[in-house]
Amino acid sequence: MQKIHQHPKAKYSWNFPRLDLTYFEIPKTGSSSVKTVLFRTNYRLDPEDTLNIGGGKLALRFPESRLTGFAPEDCLGRILVIYRDPVARAKSAYRSIFLGRQQMDAPLSVYFEKYLPAYLESPESDGLLNHHKPMSWFFPQDLLNDPRVTFVETSDLNTLPEILDLEVVPLKKDDTSMPHLLNVNKSLGDIDMTNAEIRAAMGADFDDDFKLFEALS
């Protein structure tokens, strides 16, 4: 089990002092939308201010927001973790990362059989291949019993401002809704497996993800 959130070159853990909020980012859970809202709101950015969220640019622009310690006292008064149905997340990684950004070409069954095992062994610093890895590798597991944590399912992201009582800084004039970024074409690829077959193919590394999803849902 990797602890990606602790790797010094991995940028997935953030503090937002104005919001009294720590956010543990998990790829393929709507994190681009969440980061956009949290950074804009915490720093009161103008809607016309371009916010580059990829390639480590946020850590360069806002180094004070990087969380570098992972003891309970290093987190702020509230902690946010966004989680997703593991099967839906796997399909999204296959479509947007494997087929899209990696420009591979294979049905889902081949992705699981020939490619996923190597992706799970890739370095924690590989931001692209981290998209394929279990959610449980992106946040400290003792947070599961921390009363400060709010777990929000990806399907409920539209309600995030209400859940966190955020006065969202709009991306466009007078638009304070959650943005929907990086939408994936769900017709891409060859999904040649049932959901039950996908769950079995994901293997034991993803067991904690399914336990989390089932417990919270």
Distance CA 5, CA 11 (A): 7
Percent of the chain whose predicted confidence (pLDDT) is above 90: 79
**Closest CA relative to residue 117, chosen from 194, 202, 191:** 202
The pTM is what?
0.92
| Residues 21, 164 contacting (CB under 8 angstroms) | yes
State the pLDDT at residue 162: 92
Mean pLDDT of the chain: 92
For residues 92 and 55, the model is more confident at 92
Distances (CA, A) of 28 to 43, 87, 88, 135: 24, 11, 9, 9
Predicted confidence (pLDDT) per residue in 11-42, tens digit? 999 999 999 999 999 999 999 999 999 999 99
Predicted confidence (pLDDT) per residue in 170-214, tens digit? 665 555 556 665 566 777 899 999 999 999 999 999 999 999 999
Question: 16-30, 50-64, 114-128, 141-155: lowest mean pLDDT where?
Answer: 50-64
State the pLDDT at residue 54: 81
Residue 157 has pLDDT above 60, yes or no: yes
Residue 81 has pLDDT above 80, yes or no: yes
